[in-house]
Amino acid sequence: MNKLVVKFGGTSVATTAHIQRVAARVLKEVEKGNSLVVVVSAMGKTTDQLVHMANELCAEPSKRELDVLLTTGEQVTISLLSIALQKLGLKAQSFTGWQAGIHTETVPSNARIEQIDTQAIERALAEGKVAVVAGFQGVDSNDNITTLGRGGSDTTAVAIAAAIQAQRCDIYTDVEGVYTSDPRYVKNARKIPQLSYDEMLELAHLGAGVLHPRSVELAKNYEMPMSVRSSYCEEEGTMLKEEVQMEKDIVVRGVAFEGDIIRLTVYYEAPYTSSLASIFTTLAKHHINVDIIVQSVIPNMTPTVSFSVKKEQLKEALIILGEHKDTLGFDHIDHEAELAKVSIVGSGMASNPGVAATMFDCLYKEGIPVKMVSTSEIKVSVVIPQEEMLHAANALHEQFDLSILPETIA
Amino acid sequence: MNKLVVKFGGTSVATTAHIQRVAARVLKEVEKGNSLVVVVSAMGKTTDQLVHMANELCAEPSKRELDVLLTTGEQVTISLLSIALQKLGLKAQSFTGWQAGIHTETVPSNARIEQIDTQAIERALAEGKVAVVAGFQGVDSNDNITTLGRGGSDTTAVAIAAAIQAQRCDIYTDVEGVYTSDPRYVKNARKIPQLSYDEMLELAHLGAGVLHPRSVELAKNYEMPMSVRSSYCEEEGTMLKEEVQMEKDIVVRGVAFEGDIIRLTVYYEAPYTSSLASIFTTLAKHHINVDIIVQSVIPNMTPTVSFSVKKEQLKEALIILGEHKDTLGFDHIDHEAELAKVSIVGSGMASNPGVAATMFDCLYKEGIPVKMVSTSEIKVSVVIPQEEMLHAANALHEQFDLSILPETIA
């Protein structure tokens, strides 16, 4: 009998009517002869409502108590879904994080799973029950309730799948899978049938928003096949695995983009008087996320270093750098706003050095100026004016023929 | 340092504003130098809303899953109250049932507490924290979440008080204490300063509704001093303890009453052809609660047995008796509706045999017919026409001078 872990997010369980639909979907999988663990999130906007109540009492409530509060959200869903499954004639049993044996670090609000004691879940499966597990939550070694931070329910699902050696982990969500680009903005964006974990990680980090990077990392570490698919239709979604079928002649899998990027440029009077690293160490200490870094040291020119930050962190970054001006030894800073980052991602790139050139050429022909560039083995990112973001994304999607479903080599 | 357990019910924590008031009240007790465990119920109508959702999915949801669902209610309150206490500068830590070490039987929806492992609570108190504990819930030996049934939070409070050997258990509620009768219907009903556990038990069973009988039984077993008082004012409430100060010349402490009583009468053709007990065994098997029983076997008269049941169980009782007519060996049944039960309660009664006579005399003078009588060591109950219920209650309250706060003998 195949063991599957399936996960349904908050929008899929927003109301009792939604929960009935999820139950029907679970029944279908059971009828195929699968043994199921179902991981669920809190219903719809429940988490927001709970946070709102806490904030009525305190602007910065204790993280421990906030975890106690928020985990009630998934606890409500597991019991209601179990009741709905029983109504359909299935045997079902709910598990909170601690009942499911999900042991985490002692880090309130952002704990990592350390170990899963699968005994209780395995017993339920052996008894022919569907195990319904609360996502996003666990328990630390002192019996404190903890939560796993953003995207935590995806992580719960993958971690349980790895621990019980499931055949697959299916993430049901409100989109049909991972797309070559955002279909709301890019013409002819299409669903990608298969992706490698690394490609998904680049896309996830680049703001594709479908899966949390942590869950993909975990799936990669355990080589757990993972799919992303729609709660609302029968269509196959996107399958993530280590070795994906190579799409013929295709090196670029997707185009990701993200606005509200700021480029900060730090000017030095003379060659650096302190280590360049110290700027980034200082910013990291204050939780400022720096993305692309470009330095320029040209003879007879002012040495500079440029880097991109998110718009909402600009003010704080400027204050922190100003406070450390003397130690860091720079002369002045300026910044350029209203920029965006556009990236192309694909595992095939590593062995196709011409891809970056094709990208720059495409942007040049479209008259889009490139302000910064960053590359990795499997992606190329450029920073461009924000007003050109969708223009660039569409042009690149077209350039790399992403709208055409490619033939695959078996 | 005095250890106190205080309990606040659902109406006292109905909103975040209410929770702030509870926090302020707790702060006051801490400032007096007390070490506090606070037991709380679910906020206002939360439990009803959760049950409603479960019923949208299934008319009779599994009790195990219903317990998982309902216990989220108190979990929300403990976290919010802890946050409110921390905001006032107190150290506070929340405890769910399982975190508080409340071990129960494996009886979903109506479990009894078997044992409390107080280690975690005691540690929090030793660290100078207020321990905020979820009422109504526990965990069984298989790590299932359980609930304690109606009045469960009162029971949690008393059980913890006994387990940590607290000085006192204070139940804060929306009334100022236990009254000599219901002040909404009986003129000059007044708060009773002190009651024995047994008196409270009779009043609780007789529908005074302030405390659940199980919590009072527990307090009696452990001789835990217990008070009932208002969340909304500073007034002393009613103190329950084993030995109460005797009120001079006072044998009756309170008048309780309850409407919608039915008298069923079973007629036999000849002396009983089967054991009388079999009627009551049969009814008990079908969860029909029989209260007062009167039998009459008079020479040359048809033998009968009469008993009272609640109006809502009449139909079921008639069906069950009808189905077992042959086995039970009776001839026919009739019933009288629109009756009420009025009771007087007081420990002093045992040594004052004239009390029942005074009661009957009073009712006779008021022209109120008595249909049935039942007595115990510390109470006398009569069944009378429902339309005379408040008349009788007021007359008896007057007769026994209950409106006058008696002098006490130290």
Q: Do residues B263 and B142 share a domain?
A: no
Angle of CA points A105, A108, A110, to nearest 5°: 75
Q: Do residues B261 and B169 share a domain?
A: no
The whole-number average pLDDT for the span B244-267 is: 81
Q: Which among A145, A174, A203 is the end of a domain?
A: A174
Tell me which chain B residues have a C-beta less than 8 angstroms from the C-beta of A61. 83, 86
Q: Do residues B285 and B154 share a domain?
A: no
When CB atoms are compared, the residue of B50, B71, B120 closest to A143 is B120
Number of domains in chain B: 2
- Residues β-bridged to residue A115: A103
Residue type, B159: A
State the DSSP string of A244-274. Answer: PPPBTT----EEEEEEEEEEEEEE-SSS-SS
Asked if the structure places residue A38 within a domain, the reply is yes
Please give the ipTM for the structure prediction: 0.82
The answer to whether the pTM exceeds 0.80 is yes
Domain range for A117 is: 3-174
Asked if the structure places residue A410 within a domain, the reply is no
Who contacts B321 (Cβ-Cβ below 8 Å, separation ≥6)? B264, B266, B279, B282, B283, B328, B330, B333
> How large a percentage of chain B has pLDDT more than 70?
94
Q: Is B88 on the interface with A (CB under 8 A)?
A: no
Q: Do residues A393 and A285 share a domain?
A: yes
Asked if the structure places residue B161 within a domain, the reply is yes
Q: Using the beta-carbon criterion (under 8 Å), do A53 and B87 form an inter-chain contact?
A: no
Phi, psi dihedral angles at B398 (to 5 degrees): -70, -50
- Residues β-bridged to residue B309: B262
Q: Using the beta-carbon criterion (under 8 Å), do B83 and A145 form an inter-chain contact?
A: no
Tell me which chain A residues have a C-beta less than 8 angstroms from the C-beta of B93. 64
| Residue B267 to residue A341: CA distance in whole angstroms | 91
For residue B329, what pLDDT band results from cuts at 50, 70 and 90? confident
The structure tokens 């000085």 sit at: B167
Q: Do residues B15 and B115 share a domain?
A: yes
Predicted pLDDT at B356 = 86
Tell me if B261 sits within 8 A of B339, measured CB to CB.
yes
Tell me, rounded to whole angstroms, the distance of Cα A351 from its chain centroid.
26
B21-46, pLDDT tens digit by residue?
999 999 999 999 999 999 999 999 99
Asked if the structure places residue B300 within a domain, the reply is yes
Q: Is A88 on the interface with B (CB under 8 A)?
A: no
Mapped onto helix, strand or coil, the DSSP state of residue A337 is strand
| Residue A158 to residue A219: CA distance in whole angstroms | 6
Q: Using the beta-carbon criterion (under 8 Å), do A65 and B75 form an inter-chain contact?
A: no
Tokens of A307: 């880097």
Q: Do residues B261 and B364 share a domain?
A: yes
Asked if the structure places residue A235 within a domain, the reply is no
**Min distance B241 CA to chain A CA atoms (Å):** 36
Q: Do residues B170 and B259 share a domain?
A: no
In eight-state DSSP terms, residue A192 is -
pLDDT by residue, tens only, chain A of 410 residues: 799 999 999 999 999 999 999 999 999 999 999 999 999 999 999 999 999 999 999 999 999 999 999 999 999 999 999 999 999 999 999 999 999 999 999 988 889 999 999 999 999 999 999 999 999 999 999 999 999 987 899 999 999 999 999 999 999 988 888 999 988 899 899 999 988 998 888 887 665 667 888 899 999 999 999 999 998 888 889 999 887 665 555 688 899 999 999 999 988 877 665 566 788 888 888 888 888 888 776 767 778 888 999 998 999 999 999 999 888 888 899 999 999 999 999 887 877 778 888 999 999 999 999 988 888 888 899 999 999 999 999 999 999 989 887 655 44
Predicted pLDDT at A92 = 98
Tell me if B311 sits within 8 A of B260, measured CB to CB.
yes
- Max Cα distance, chain B (Å): 79
Q: Do residues A36 and A150 share a domain?
A: yes
Asked if the structure places residue B347 within a domain, the reply is yes
Residue type, A298: I
Predicted pLDDT at B354 = 82
Who contacts B28 (Cβ-Cβ below 8 Å, separation ≥6)? none
Q: Is A55 on the interface with B (CB under 8 A)?
A: no
Mutate to test the interface with B, among A21, A26, A79 (most CBs of B within 10 A): A79
**Of B110, B247, B133, nearest to B190 (Cα)?**
B247
- Residues β-bridged to residue A39: A7, A133
Predicted pLDDT at B275 = 63
Q: Which among A138, A156, A174 is the end of a domain?
A: A174
Tell me which chain B residues have a C-beta less than 8 angstroms from the C-beta of A87. 57-58
Q: Using the beta-carbon criterion (under 8 Å), do B69 and A57 form an inter-chain contact?
A: no
For residue B315, give the CATH number of its domain.
3.30.2130.10
Q: Which among A124, A158, A174 is the end of a domain?
A: A174
Q: Is B51 on the interface with A (CB under 8 A)?
A: no
Q: Do residues B290 and B168 share a domain?
A: no
Q: Do residues A165 and A268 share a domain?
A: no
- pLDDT exceeds 80 at position B129: yes
Predicted pLDDT at B138 = 97
Q: Do residues A265 and A363 share a domain?
A: yes
Q: Do residues B267 and B163 share a domain?
A: no
Q: Is A24 on the interface with B (CB under 8 A)?
A: no
CA-nearest residue to A20 within chain B is B57
| Residue B140 to residue B110: CA distance in whole angstroms | 12
For residue A141, give the CATH number of its domain.
3.40.1160.10
Asked if the structure places residue B410 within a domain, the reply is no
Asked if the structure places residue B93 within a domain, the reply is yes
